[in-house]
Amino acid sequence: MSPGALSSILIQKGIKLAKKSSGIVNSRKKQILRNWRRGQTFLQIARRYRILPLSVAYALRTSLGFNKKEFARMVRGDNGRPRGLAVRVEREIKQALHFDYLHSPKALRYMRDQGKKGEAIAEKILRKYKIKFLKEDEQLKKQGNKTPDFLFGKKEKLFGRDVFWMESKATIGRLAEARGDWNSQIKHYVKLFGPGIVVYWFGYTDEALEVFNGAYVYSGRSLKKYAEKEISELESRELRL
């Protein structure tokens, strides 16, 4: 398995834990806030409940009086000279980041960069076939928020399929992820535009294929003949914490 695929699995597990963490914190927010005010750190609270420490911090943000921009600066470590309560919060965020890979600026940059690289490969393939398309930002101006990465101007023949759109996923298409992608995005694209293509650049499981109805699923490996250098580079990129 490639470094990129292993990193994708790590991130997917982290996202699953983040959702669990958010649910636990929100259901016990008053008690967690009391514990924090009594001197327990984000990390100590997280260890008690077996959740991600930054999930604790994010959930308490508004109760502690910080807006999103202020909090984001503290997470990035560019908040200047903190004062008052911000001194403690920033210190505990810095401590928490050593144990919370998912919320670290480095991990967020990695996920964003991998997504962009996957889309760039897909775009290269479409241009090779001279397929005209609209990207997401161009679609938003015309038809609302249900936007695949690439919407074709008309029905096109791609990889031997008659399709209207293409979606790039810089992840592994396992069953849970495939169900989430289908319910939140893909089924809407099929309903609005017709059949299309979903590319999981790091592969997919056979059971995931059962989720999609009206969409054709491909792995990055199966498309290497169209962009071997770029796909190999994507697979080689590892999340280093």
Domain ranges of the chain: 3-103, 114-236
Check pLDDT > 70 for residue 32.
Answer: yes
Ranking 45-49, 95-99, 193-197, 212-216 by mean pLDDT, the lowest is 95-99
Residues 6+ apart with CB under 8 A from 55: 18, 21, 22, 25, 46, 100, 103
The amino acid present at 56, given as its one-letter code, is V
Entry pTM? 0.80
In the predicted structure, residue 6 carries a pLDDT above the cut 80: yes
Q: Which fold has domain 114-236?
A: Trna Endonuclease; Chain: A, domain 1 (3.40.1350)
The predicted-structure confidence for 214-239, as pLDDT tens digits, reads as follows 999 999 999 999 999 999 999 999 88
- Lowest mean pLDDT of 49-58, 93-102, 115-124, 187-196, name the range: 93-102
Distance between the two ends of the chain, CA-based, in angstroms? Answer: 19
Rounded Cα gap, residues 85 and 29, in angstroms: 19
